């Protein structure tokens, strides 16, 4: 019936996003992009398992893209409609519950960012190339998908573009083929990935391997040659940063890490799975944005591997990444985490006390107070538990929920196992109360929990 796929939203923060009736396990995207005209042609094969028997299935896809053909489980074309950002597909034959649903969508158009209360997200045309930054709902601006963070799948992304350009996507480069004036780049991301973390970056870039003594993880940069000297200075401590975070958070969760620096300026850096994207303005030659470098690297654990199931729990991404900035500062000879926490607390104390970080609402979910107060929640927990139990908890969190979807309740339940005293007051005050609580005195630590 009309409107069927808009009822009973998966997430109240983004009621139009996400779809019921199936679980995606695999995306295979074949893209061809013309930089000069910002034209995208795509073929998306989406493999899923049905969770019930139904007449129709929906995918999220921008109206800026035109669908030409759809196939379901074979060569016969399927009926479809494409309205209000939903591609609704009617298979010729019923797919039973627990059956394989293999949808192939051919499409093309001029991709444009998705506009919302957070600005523009998704596919963005640059002066010489393109970038994708999809948090929270921009994935549908460039491919048909189940666009919700709890829907994670493996990906193969193939990009064909003009040969002077470098094309990057998530995962390992499996194949690069030059044919005439075009180059095809094929990447494989085997670990489960939320659709908003899938990315494509295209520009006049060169690859730069980051060398580090005793490095156990391949790290590289993709950037314009003109920024190489500034990059080598500004990003020089990434290997040490990785070592600090590996000790604090557990093993790095993917096969490699790539930093992209665009030739354009960006207001803020952005994370994707296995990738972080910075603007030319973040290479200032003065190491002036190192806290952001730490923040984006930390998202590989908190956000990309351990991913929230609903956007209301965004503090589990941003509060943790913000606290990682303070951990890096402390470990690298800068101000201690406690000093930075108290500075942030003073700053927050003069701002409006009208936000609940455990459920901030869609308009405020990227408010800086969610980031800072989320970090302060973790610092308070650290003071309550003591360092050994606190970092045992973080490593258990990233291990138990590696490549999974999580909720705040799962974190608070796990944290309870590392404290001899109940933590209900901490969560009530910091996550679900509006007034800013006082920080515990420095060095005031409860007895170590039973970790």
Query: What does the pLDDT average to over 187-203?
Result: 98
- Tell me what percent of the residues of the chain surpass a pLDDT of 70: 96
Q: What is the mean pLDDT of residues 343-358?
A: 97
Q: Which pLDDT does position 451 carry in this prediction?
A: 29
Collapsing DSSP to helix, strand or coil, 186 comes out as strand
* Angstrom distance (rounded) from CA 287 to CA 417: 39
Q: Are residues 193 and 246 in the same domain?
A: no
Q: Using CA atoms, how far apart are residues 275 and 187, in angstroms rounded to an integer? A: 13
Domains held by the chain: number: 3
Note whether residue 445 is domain-resident: no
What does the pLDDT read at residue 447? 35
Q: Are residues 196 and 215 in the same domain?
A: no
The pLDDT of residue 6 is above 90: no
Q: Extract the annotated binding site for Zn(2+).
A: 295, 299, 318
Looking at the structure, tell me whether residues 154 and 229 fall in a common domain: no
User: Which of 3-7, 158-162, 169-173, 296-300 comes out lowest in average pLDDT?
Assistant: 3-7
pLDDT of residue 449: 33
Which domain, by its residues, includes 328?
Answer: 307-430
Q: 142 and 22 in one domain?
A: yes
Residue 97 in any domain: the answer is yes
Q: Is 316 in the same domain as 413? A: yes
Residues 192, 267 within the same domain: no
pLDDT score of 212? 66
Rounded to whole angstroms, the Cα distance separating 121 from 125 reads 11
Q: Is the pLDDT of residue 118 over 80?
A: yes
| pLDDT tier, 210 (very low <50, low <70, confident <90, very high otherwise) | confident
- The model scores a pTM over 0.75: yes
Dist. CA 422–CA 413, nearest whole Å: 11
Mean pLDDT of 260-278: 96
Same domain, 162 and 34: yes
**Interstrand relation of 200-203 and 206-209 (parallel, antiparallel or unpaired):** unpaired
Distance, in Å, from the CA atom of 410 to the CA atom of 397, rounded to the nearest integer, reads: 9
Is-cis flag, bond preceding 331, omega within 30? no
Give residue 1's pLDDT.
36
Retrieve residue 251's tokens: 């093993």
Catalytic positions: 296, 371
Average pLDDT over residues 302-327: 98
CA distance 322 to 439: 17
Residue 6 forms part of a structural domain? no
Is 30 within 8 Å of 116 (Cβ atoms)? no
Would you say residue 403 lies in a domain? yes
């Amino acid at each position: 019936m009309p409107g069927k796929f808009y009822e009973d939203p998966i997430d109240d923060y983004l009621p139009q996003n996400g779809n019921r009736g199936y679980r995606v396990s695999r995306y295979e995207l074949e893209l061809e992009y013309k930089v000069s005209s910002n034209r995208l042609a795509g073929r998306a094969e989406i493999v899923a398992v049905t969770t019930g028997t139904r007449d129709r299935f929906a995918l999220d896809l921008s109206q800026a893209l035109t669908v030409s053909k759809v196939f379901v489980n074979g060569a016969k074309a399927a009926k479809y409609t494409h309205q209000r950002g939903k591609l609704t597909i009617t298979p010729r034959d019923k797919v039973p519950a627990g059956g394989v649903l293999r949808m192939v969508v051919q499409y093309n158009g001029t991709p444009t960012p998705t506009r919302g209360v957070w600005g523009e997200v998704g596919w963005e045309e640059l002066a010489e190339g393109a970038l994708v930054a999809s948090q929270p709902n921009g994935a549908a601006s460039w491919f048909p998908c189940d666009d919700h963070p709890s829907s994670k799948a493996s990906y193969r992304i193939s990009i064909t573009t003009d040969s002077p350009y470098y094309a990057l996507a998530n995962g390992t480069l499996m194949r690069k083929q030059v044919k005439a004036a075009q180059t095809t780049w094929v990447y494989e991301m085997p670990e489960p990935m939320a659709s908003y973390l899938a990315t494509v970056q295209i520009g006049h870039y060169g690859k730069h391997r980051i060398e580090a003594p005793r490095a156990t993880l391949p790290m590289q940069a993709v950037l314009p040659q003109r920024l190489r000297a500034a990059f080598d200075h500004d990003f020089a401590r990434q290997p040490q940063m990785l070592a600090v975070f590996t000790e604090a958070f557990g093993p790095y969760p993917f096969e490699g890490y790539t930093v992209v620096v665009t030739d354009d300026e960006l207001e803020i850096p952005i994370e994707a799975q296995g990738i972080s994207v910075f603007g030319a303005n973040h290479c200032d030659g003065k190491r002036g944005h190192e806290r952001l470098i730490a923040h984006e690297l930390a998202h590989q654990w908190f956000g990309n591997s351990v991913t929230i199931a609903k956007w209301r729990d965004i503090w589990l991404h941003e509060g943790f990444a913000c606290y990682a900035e303070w951990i890096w500062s402390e470990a690298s000879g800068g101000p201690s985490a406690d000093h930075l926490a108290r500075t942030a607390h003073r700053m927050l104390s003069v701002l409006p006390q009208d936000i609940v970080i455990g459920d901030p609402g869609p308009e405020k979910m990227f408010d800086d107070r969610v980031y800072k107060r989320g970090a302060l929640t973790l610092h308070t927990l650290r003071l309550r538990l003591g360092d050994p139990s606190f970092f045992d908890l973080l490593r258990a969190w990233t291990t138990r929920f590696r490549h999974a979807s999580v909720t705040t309740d799962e974190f608070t339940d796990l944290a309870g196992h590392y404290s001899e005293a109940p933590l209900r007051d901490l969560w009530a005050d910091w996550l679900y109360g509006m007034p800013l609580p006082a920080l515990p005195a420095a060095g005031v630590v409860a007895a170590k929990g039973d970790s």
